[in-house]
Structure 1
Amino acid sequence: MKHLTIIFPQAHSNYSTIACIAGIFEMFTAANAYCREAGKKDLFTVELAGVSKSETLYGGMFIVQPQINISSISKTDLIVIPSSVPFYQNTGQENELLMEWMRKQYKSGADIASMCSGAFMLASSGLLDGRSCSTHWAHADAFRQQFPKVNLQTDQLITDEKGIYTNGGAYSFLNLMIYLVEKYYDRQTAIYCSKIFQIEVDRNSQSAFSIFTGQKLHGDVMVEQAQIYIENKLHEKLSVEDLSANFAIGRRNFDRRFIKATGNTPVEYATRVKIESAKKALETSRKTINEVMYEVGYSDVKAFREVFKKNTGISPLEYRNKYNKEAGGNTR
């Protein structure tokens, strides 16, 4: 039988941590039960492990008690890091014990999966350096600043690279659970679990749920001024040449500083600002799609639709029908 270890993140736990722990136990219990119904043996045993005996959360509302100390587990097959309050390197001896244990287990062949902001713990171990990763879109700027060696892909719901899995925000951890069930059990077991828990299978993007706010914590005053300039010129088609000239800086140097500060090229940034504005209009107004398109500086319906879908995963019409009930009957 394989062994699954859920890491308890100690003082960094929150409501989502508890939800993730419960969800993992319930999902793998159901998968094992499905195996037994088919005349097979349970595939996984699941344990919650930490470095303390228990922790009381939210004024005594919850008491989380790890079943085993992490040091007592010499070999595991799958480690799952639940969502937690994002934390960084050098935050205490207990975290370093977790980091060292995870590195040792991965080197010995264990797979590791992180859920939502659990990616901060995984990245702190160094195991994500040079690899792709996803996390909650709300934490993207802080994550990029803290872990520049990690290839953050916040549009991706799930990443899978060399035995390390990560996923996007909040309760999308359930999609990762379905993915892991299929990976370790089989497709039919995953479909069964998706039906029992009513979770979509094969969902691969969190773009439709993200809110683009623009990274402004970088400290580059010129770039921040350029960002504000772009955000105030939604209706215009801006060229990088004009932007760089406006700030009296060469095009190549402007590009380099902008990408370093924001993680986007100036063109990408302008596009994301425009699409975010279009999303808000589609969510809250009864304007037609064409009206919204013109307001954010597009004149070609096909081009607008393609850019919108690239950034959100769905078409403008699908987006409006999903988030704006009042405007749902307006098909233009």
Structure 2
Amino acid sequence: MKISILATKEVMTSSLTGPLDVFSSAGNFWNRIKQQEPTPLFEVEIVAASAAPIQCFNWVTIQPHRAIESVAQTDLVYIPSLALPLNGLKPQSPAVLNWLRQMYQQGATLAGSCTGVFLLAEAGLLENREAITHWAYQDTFQARYPLTLLEQEKVVIEQDRIICSAGGTSWHDLVLYIIEKFHGKEVALQCAKTFMLQWHQDGQLPFSAFQLQKGHGDAAILAAQNWIEEHFIESDLITRCAEHIGMPLRTFKRRFKNATGYSPINYIQYTRIEQAKRALEMGNQTIEEISFSVGYDDSSFFRRLFKRHTGLPPNDYRRRFLHITPKSEEEPERQAS
């Protein structure tokens, strides 16, 4: 089976070289570990708009094996993550977009990792199809490609021979999904064990952070956002905030939603949950103490709200992010009531 990894000048180097290593190892490294004859399962190559070296993100240079114009057929095109500005994709080579469409029309499977999914959308291949991308780019993606059915919580999605994965190192999940799809679970497990790869079973929601959306140009609403962030633990915030900026309540709610994309109550909830996440990651408070400290007297309601926003109950979130490194495991155990 032939895999063509598409390289562009915006590519995140590890999201290209990592899949290259894992695909190339399938049927190879595990067999060597088990003292069996290597039987490589994929023919993997790096392709690009031209055969000239490409300077990737962080100034790493990649030498493509060949130009896309010489690739008349492939079984799978893999698009790595791209280092994009938060406002989205820069203009792309028409030749690259046409080649993607051509490969798809000829029966190839297309796979995009993280922000590499933007290229699939730019080629018009995601209209009326499900997709996913990095959590920080979801608003930009949805605004630019409104006909795409953007999923927010899953890690990998496949529809009509197009596979997308979520942000960052979810390329691990995408690569394992592809290996299992074409060569079965046993080979995927062998690769996972060889490279110590793990599935992001909780999705990307626990990793996401609230985006404040302060570049809207509405000075009154910006003042309201700043006021909420200073008083978020208090009560009756919406009415008091509207009074603080001297705006009728109905007008305030409408303008706030138009400017930030969030209703005032949702903005308050996101602000409180972000503070709670920080407390769970770094502090030693109980869940009840954290609930009260962010403005919720009812800890049961807080637990339900926290899970709705992060995909995990507070205690599970704490276990997931309390020990990121071996050094952090040396710290005293936190309370987890």
For Structure 1 versus Structure 2, the TM-score category normalised by the shorter chain is 0.7 to 0.9
Instruction: Give 1:218 shift.
Output: 4.0
Verify: 1:103 aligned to 2:101, yes or no. yes
CA distance in 1, matches of 2:57, 2:271: 41
**What amino acid is the match of 1:6?**
I
Change (3 A) 1:201 1:286: closer
Alpha-carbon offset, residue 76 of structure 1 = 2.0
Q: Of 14, 20, 32, which aligns to 2:27? A: 32
Q: TM-score, normalised by structure 1?
A: 0.81
1:300 to partner: Cα distance: 2.4
- Aligned-pair CA distance for 1:134: 2.5
Structure 2: which amino acid aligns with 1:91?
Answer: P
Given that residues 320 and 327 in structure 1 are in contact (C-alpha distance below 8 angstroms), is that contact kept between their aligned partners in structure 2? Answer: no
Identity of aligned residues (%): 31
The residue that corresponds to 2:325 in the other structure is none
Alpha-carbon distance, 1:259 to partner = 5.5
Please state whether the residue corresponding to 2:78 is helix, strand or coil.
Answer: strand
Q: Given the alignment, which residue of 293, 296, 301 partners 2:294?
A: 296
**Match of 2:75?**
77
Secondary structure, counterpart of 2:110 in structure 1: strand
Specify the alignment match of 1:328 in structure 2.
333
- Structure 1 position 120 matched with structure 2 position 118: yes
Alignment partners' CA distance in 2, 1:160 and 1:76: 18
Q: Name which of structure 1's ranges 206-215 and 315-324 shifts more when overlaid on structure 2.
A: 315-324
* 3-state SS of 1:159 partner: strand
1:277 partnered with 2:293: no
User: Quick one: which amino acid aligns to residue 134 of structure 1?
Assistant: I
Q: How far apart are 1:308 and its partner, in Å?
A: 1.6
Deviations 1:298-319 (A, max 9, x none): 2222322222223223221232
Specify which of 229, 232, 236 is matched with residue 234 of structure 1: 232
Q: 1:222 and 1:190, CA in 2 relative to 1: closer, same or farther beyond 3 A?
A: farther
CA distance in structure 1 between the partners assigned to 2:21 and 2:42 by the alignment: 12
- 1:281-308 superposed Cα distances (whole Å, 9 cap, x missing partner): 2222222221110122222223222222
Matches within 5 A, 1:5-84: 5-9=4-8, 11-13=9-11, 17-33=12-28, 43-55=41-53, 57=55, 62-84=60-82
Q: What is the alpha-carbon distance in structure 2 between the residues aligned to residue 65 and residue 283 of structure 1? A: 41
The alignment partner of 1:323 has SS state of helix
1:207 is aligned to 205
The Cα shift of 1:278 comes to 0.5
Gaps of 5+ in 1: none
Structure 1 vs Structure 2 CA RMSD: 3.5
Structure 2 CA distance for aligned equivalents of residues 133 and 178 of structure 1: 18
SS of alignment partner, residue 32 of structure 1: coil
Q: Cα gap change, 1:118/1:85 in structure 2, threshold over 3 Å: closer, same or farther?
A: same
Q: Structure 2 regions of 5+ residues with no counterpart?
A: 323-327
The 2-side partners of 1:59 and 1:77 are apart by: 27
Give the count of matched residue pairs. 323
Alpha-carbon offset, residue 82 of structure 1: 0.7
User: Normalising to structure 2: TM-score of the pair?
Assistant: 0.80
Opposite residue 181 of structure 1, the aligned amino acid is I
1:72 CA displacement: 1.5
* Bigger Cα displacement from structure 2, 39-48 vs 288-297: 39-48
